[in-house]
Amino acid sequence: MAKPKLDDASTPRSDPYQTPVCAEFHRTIELIGKRWTGAILAVLMQGPHRFNEILNSVPGLSDRLLTERLRELEDKGIVERRIFAERPVRIEYALTKAGLDLDQLIKVITAWGLKWCPEPTDTARGDHAAKGTAVSKAKTAARPPR
């Protein structure tokens, strides 16, 4: 049986959107793309921090989620937990060599976000941010007592 002739004109072009995603790329995006992870990494890029320092640096982050994300990053070898035998015991979180290698990636993503995903102005979002406190208080006042 003769082999089919493979010339440029008869070779089907593969659709780049139909190719499988690289497994390493997918795992990496899933890890660093989790909610709060990027913000935690950005804080730790500035140097080692204690738990409450990280918590206070990331508005809206709960202590439960911070604990969860730090454990995940620690398991992946991106963050290390340092325990200092002092009274009281001091614990700091710092990036490992692998974590520090994310520096350029975080800078590029930040630059892209500043260019293409600017924060909406108060008028664009209907000034809900300024009204948020009053709305929350009104909802709380309207709730029946337990």
The domain spans of the chain are 24-117
> What pLDDT tens digit does each residue of the chain (146 aa) get?
555 454 444 545 566 666 677 888 888 889 999 999 999 999 999 999 999 999 999 999 999 999 999 999 999 999 999 999 999 999 999 999 999 999 999 999 889 999 999 887 755 444 444 444 343 444 444 444 44
CA 93, CA 134: separation in Å to the nearest integer?
37
The residue count for the chain = 146
CA 123, CA 141: separation in Å to the nearest integer?
27
Among candidates 84, 78, 67, which has minimal Cα distance to 44?
Answer: 78
Write down the pTM of the prediction.
Answer: 0.67
Domain 24-117 -> CATH class = mainly alpha
Report the SS3 class of residue 31. Answer: helix
User: Any idea of the CA torsion for 56, 61, 66, 72, to the nearest 10 degrees?
Assistant: -130
CA 35, CA 85: separation in Å to the nearest integer?
32
Angle at 48 between CA 71 and CA 60, to 5 degrees: 60
pLDDT at 39: 94
